[in-house]
Each structure stands twice: as C-alpha cells, then as structure tokens.
Amino acid sequence: MSSTAEVAAEESAPATGVWLHAVVRDVEPATLAGLAGMGGAPVRAVAGAGLVAVVSPAPLDEYGEEPLRHHLEDLAWLERAARAHHAVVDALARQGPVVPARLATVHTDDERVATSLAARRAELSATLIRLTGRGEWGVKGYLVPGAPVESTAAQDGGGVGTAYLRRRRAQLTARDERQQGASAAADAVHDALCEVAVAGRRHAPQDRRLSGASTPMALNGAYLVDVAALRRFTDLVDTLGDRHPGLRLELTGPWPAYSFVAERPAGAVGEPR
C-alpha cells in the first residue's frame, strides 16, 4: 500500500516520453548494455512490426515540445544532446544497418513508437536493405589560398590614387577568380565521387566557426559507399585532391547514414518548427 507521501511524489513527477535514437532490424541485449541515452539514462528496445526502435527515457519537462523549442536555440544544450544521440546511433551502426532518427524525435510512450514502426514498416525495411553493406563518408573541400592573380588591365599612367585603385581592383579580381575556381572544382569533385558512390548529397558549406578551418569551405559532401567500393572511393579522393590543388580535400567516416534516410514522420512531440 502506498503512503500519502509516495502518491504525492508520483503525482508531482514529470511525465516521461520516449526519445527515439534509431531503428534496426534486431539488436542484441549485449549491444544495448552500458549504452547511455539522453541525460545518461540507459537505452532499451521497443519492438513493433518486425522492427526494433532503440529509445531512451525523455522527461517531457525537458524534452517536450515547448521545452525543446527553447533548448534547440541553446547551442551548448544542442551539442550535448547531439553527442548523446550520436553515441547511441554510432554504436548501433557498428553492428549493422541502422536508420538514425532525426535529432529531437520524441514520442509520448512506447505505444506511439510501435505505432510509428507499423506505419513506416515498408519504408524503414526498404531503407535498412538499401543501407546494408554501405556506409556514409564525408568529403569536405577547403579553399587553398593561391598566389595572387595578376591583373590583365592596361597599366596606364596615373597618380597615387589611380595606382591604389588599380591594385585594389586586381585584388578583388583575384579573389573572385579563386572563389569561382574553387566552386567549379567542388562541382567536379562531387560529380566524380558520385560516379563511385551509390548516392551523394551536398550540404551547405559550414561556417568557419563550426568547421574550425582557417579558410572557407567550398564542398560539404556526403556519399553512401559500398564496402566493396571503399578502396576505389578513397583512392579517388586522393586523385581528385591532386587534380584540384585549389581545394584541400578532407575525408571523414564512416558515419551512420544520416544523409540518406527519410525525414522524420509527423507525430513526434518534439519537432522543432
């Protein structure tokens, strides 16, 4: 029999939702053991429609729709949440194909999770088949500052002011030509990599404050690559780096296939607007 104090504590406790990390075909209990989800809580499996969702508890006073709307504007909170979410997805991806959930996909309870699995069964199953034996690789291309481009303008006479304007015009022309050259090189690199990859996507270049690079990013590509074609893909990245010296190419991965899964379905309580 519960005491009055215990009943009051239960009534005052915040409702707990379910943060969706990813969907897999199946998962061994040993894989989930020791994995920490949101807020360090243990993860668990929710089965439905022949699939398994890997989730962690999400108190709705922090992960509900209104709190999330504010949290997603807090870069420090967002980074912590993204790291916790990715750690689970990455661990699952090491065991086999995984469909990562978009960040901040929160359901009210396990029943809603199972319902979502049933509603999306065909799509999720097809995605898991498509991702089997494949990984996502990232290729970023950063502008390499080159030698100044000489101006082709006529070197007519003039005073100090004219000379300054001529130099300034030459600097702007050289900068524009470097940027145009980097853009064309990024297009060529992406097209070549897509010929080897199963699929490719270009994301918006990252700001230098996020990339940590000292020069602008001209290419931010993601590529779904067959394991059997990986050596050919990585060799091609090296070849393209030599072919386009105006870009410094950086290869990262493998990653869970965030770039090659469908957008989150409606019905989650924590969808950023």
- pLDDT of 7 higher than 60: no
pLDDT at 219 over 70: yes
Q: In the predicted model, is pLDDT for residue 17 greater than 90?
A: yes
User: Quick one: pLDDT band at residue 215, thresholds 50, 70, 90?
Assistant: confident
d(CA 44, CA 21): 10
Looking at every residue in the chain, the average pLDDT score rounds to 84
Q: Report the pLDDT value the prediction gives residue 145, as an integer from 0 to 100.
A: 80
Q: How far, in Å, CA of 9 to CA of 86, rounded?
A: 33
Burial class (CB in 10 A: 0-12, 13-18, 19+), 93: buried
The pLDDT of residue 178: 61
pLDDT band at 2 (very low <50, low <70, confident <90, very high): very low
Residues 6+ apart with CB under 8 A from 271: 65, 104, 105, 264
Instruction: Give residue 3's pLDDT.
Output: 46
pLDDT digits (tens, 9 = 90+) for 134-174: 999 999 999 988 633 434 444 455 555 665 566 666 555 55
Q: b vs e for 13-39, b when ≥16 Cβ sit within 10 Å of the residue's Cβ?
A: eeeebbbbbbbbbebeeebbeebebbe
pLDDT on residue 149 = 40
Read off the pLDDT band of 44 (50, 70, 90): very high
pLDDT of residue 6: 40
Three-state secondary structure of 93-119: HCCCCCEECCCCCEECCHHHHHHHHHH
- In DSSP terms, 225 is beta-bridged to 135
pLDDT tens digit string along 187-214?
999 999 999 999 999 999 988 776 777 7
Quote the pTM value: 0.77
Does pLDDT of 40 surpass 60?
yes
pLDDT surpassing 50 at residue 66: yes
The answer on pLDDT for 21 being more than 50 is yes
- Distance (Å, rounded) from C-alpha 72 to C-alpha 63? 10
Q: How many CA atoms lie within 13 A of 15 on its CB side?
A: 11
Per-residue confidence (pLDDT) for residue 211, from 0 to 100: 72
Cβ(236)–Cβ(196) under 8 Å?
yes
Could you give the percent of the chain with pLDDT greater than 70?
78
